[in-house]
Amino acid sequence: MSTHTIGDQQLQVIHAAFTGTLVQPEDPGFDDARAIWNGMVDKYPLLIARCADVDDVVTAVNFARENDLPVAIRGGGHNVAGSAICDDGLVIDLSEMTNVVVDTETRRASVQGGATIGDVDRATQRHGLATALGVVSETGIAGLTLNGGLGHLRRKYGLSLDNLTSVEIVTADGVVRTASDEENTDLFWAIRGGGGNFGVVTNFEYKLHEVGPDVNMLFTWYGGDDVEDALRAFREYTTAASRDGSVVAFYAFVPEDETFPEESWGDPAIAMIGCYDGPTDEAEAEFRELRTVAEPIADMSGPIEYTALQTLLDEDYPDGLRYYWKAVYVEELTDDIVDLVVRYGADSPSHLSTVDVWHLGGAIGDVEPDATAFWHRTNDYMLTFEANWEDPAVDDENVAWVRNGIEELREMLVTTGGYGNFPGFGEDPSQTLFGDNYNRLVDVKTVYDPENLFKLNTNIEPHEQPSE
């Protein structure tokens, strides 16, 4: 039973100060407003504050603090843990705040906190520019960036958070602050990897790079008999890969799509998707060994518009599907790891699920682990279990598949940590994500959010406050 309520007098107070839209359970659009990307998550907030500007965010933060309400922050609503929504609390919804301003002279993009990757790509590609974001265009930039951010440009330009130059953030006291390398430097350090623990980021400023309009895509599929050979070829490729190339290998099942031969639909497969940001002849040489492992089921590799590459996977992750994802970092792609990928991939309860091996390194590893709050920079790979399915009756089976695979991985000496954008339901200890940066994060949390207002995340608990 809920211990939180919002009375009529309290509602009058926020209505008087709020210029956006306030949505309550009795309003006709409430169910649509509370729906998020992960169909497993079904929560009922007391109030959804769809903010029109930073002043609305200040009003909402103050209202939540003064009324002791749980707070969820919604940017794109795509974090798999469902942290964009809450029961019996206030949702600070930034989905109406999507403006992107590109400065071609300084090569900077100023992006509001409710924008998606697609919003940014469309605006920056008009000028032949891009920043390092994720691989599904409907993902919100806020959670993606604050927890790391891995995309097709990661080995060349680093994590999304490595491309931040400053943020505008509303902290728990309702103050609007700028955080950068020159101002509130401790806060800027913490938000780059510390997730939503420190406030509501209402604006992100990214540095931009010359990218596109075309890049070179690797997208090759092999049948189940070739999985081990393909993974070993991928492993060999990563030992000398160019920074211009970033590749993910994933165990999957052939979709029922006319791109693939009908006789292969539903069969086990290994696919490799990647991007090479450079000349086409160099890309062909870079990816040649990955495209000639065996006779492919399909090979869609070649030049592609950057915006098209960024939207290519969107249809595989629709709103309302059921999702449960977890990840670990891997130091070395041993034969035992390869065997595990093959074994768990074949045993997946859902043919929509994948086991993915991301090649990291490059620019990600150029940054020292304690230079930002994002600790896990020294491993060459990230291995992720993505359970994706439709039927609620098999929730437990799919969740167990992920948890068992991750648990087995964590018993291996070559694995460590976890990734804030693939956190399951946030059940792992915070130190799993933050490593040796955790104690410093606690110190920063204590300064900016001493009462832990922002705790519906992979939470960093502040130091205990002295009793009055």
CATH of the domain at 22: 3.30.43.10
Please give the pLDDT value at position 381.
Answer: 98
Whether 242 and 288 have beta carbons less than 8 Å apart is answered as no
Q: Are 109 and 128 in contact (CB under 8 A)?
A: no
Q: Domain check: are 171 and 278 in the same one?
A: no
145 and 190 together in one domain: yes
Percent of the chain that is helix, strand, coil (3-state, to 5):
35, 25, 45
Q: Which two tokens stand for residue 181?
A: 């390398």
Measured CA to CA, the distance from residue 350 to residue 131 in angstroms comes to 34
Say if residue 35 is in the same domain as residue 72.
yes
Separation CA 443–CA 420 (nearest Å): 20
Q: Please give the Cα distance from 272 to 301 (Å, whole number).
A: 10
Residues 6+ apart with CB under 8 A from 338: 228, 231, 232, 235
Query: What is the edge-to-edge ordering of all strands in the sheet holding 200-207?
Result: 100-103, 108-112, 200-207, 164-170, 176-180
Q: How many domains does the chain have?
A: 3
What pLDDT does 6 receive? Answer: 87
Contact 362, 155 (CB under 8 A): yes
When pLDDT is cut at 50, 70 and 90, the band that residue 468 belongs to is: low
Query: Is there a single domain that holds both residue 182 and residue 308?
Result: no
> How distant, in Å, are the alpha carbons of 62, 68, 117, 451, 453 from that of 65?
5, 5, 30, 9, 7
This prediction has a pTM of: 0.96
What is the span of the domain harbouring residue 66? 9-93
In a domain, 322, yes or no: yes
Domain end (from 210, 229, 260): 210
The owner of tokens 């020159």 is 182
Q: What are phi and psi of 216, to 5 degrees?
A: -110, 125
Are 86 and 104 within one domain?
Answer: no
Residue 1 has pLDDT above 70, yes or no: no
Last residue of some domain: 385, 416, 447? 416
Q: Please indicate, yes or no, whether residues 108 and 246 belong to a single structural domain of this protein.
A: no
Provide the H-helix boundaries in 240-379: 280-291, 306-311, 335-346
User: If you write DSSP's letter for every residue of 73-110 in order, what string do you get?
Assistant: EESSS--TT-TT--SSSEEEE-TT---EEEETTTTEEE
pLDDT value at position 5? 81
| Sign of CA pseudo-dihedral 410, 414, 416, 420 | negative
**Percent of the chain clearing pLDDT 70 (strictly above):** 99
Residue 72 sits in the same domain as residue 54: yes
- Same domain for 357 and 378? yes
Identity at 463, one-letter amino acid code: H
What per-residue confidence (pLDDT) applies to 252? 98
Domain boundary among 45, 64, 93: 93
Tokens of 405: 């695979």
Closest CA to 159 of 107, 206, 123, 119: 206
**361/412 same-domain check:** yes
Compute the mean pLDDT over every residue in the chain, rounded to the nearest whole number.
Answer: 96
End-to-end CA distance of the chain: 30
Q: Which residue carries 């150029």 as its tokens? A: 366
Cα distance between residue 450 and residue 94, in whole Å: 24
Question: Taking the CA atoms of the chain, what radius of gyration do you get in angstroms?
Answer: 22
* Same-domain check for residues 147 and 198: yes
- Domain assignment present for residue 433? The answer is no
> Does some domain include residue 63?
yes
String of DSSP letters for 306-338? HHHHHHTTGGGS-TT-EEEEEEEEES---HHHH
Is there a domain that residue 461 lies in? no
C-alpha atoms less than 13 angstroms from C-alpha of 146 in its C-beta half-sphere: 31
138 occurs within a structural domain? yes
> What per-residue confidence (pLDDT) applies to 467?
65
pLDDT of residue 465: 76
Rounded Cα gap, residues 315 and 189, in angstroms: 35
Q: For residue 227, is it within any domain?
A: yes
Question: Between helices 335-346 and 227-238, what is the axis angle to 10°?
Answer: 140
pLDDT band at 206 (very low <50, low <70, confident <90, very high): very high
Residue 277: which of 266, 292, 287 has the closest Cα?
Answer: 287
The pLDDT, as a whole number, for residue 114 is 98
Residues found in the chain: 468
Residue 465 included in any domain: no
The per-residue pLDDT for range 224-274, each reduced to its tens digit, is 999 999 999 999 999 999 999 999 999 999 999 999 999 999 999 999 999
Shared domain for 106 and 39, answered yes or no, is no
CATH of the domain at 288: 3.40.462.20
pLDDT digits (tens, 9 = 90+) for 144-174: 999 999 999 999 999 999 999 999 999 999 9
Are both 176 and 255 inside the same structural domain? no
For the stretch 79-137, pLDDT in tens is: 999 999 999 999 999 999 999 999 999 999 999 999 999 999 999 999 999 999 999 99
Residue 448 within any structural domain of the chain? no
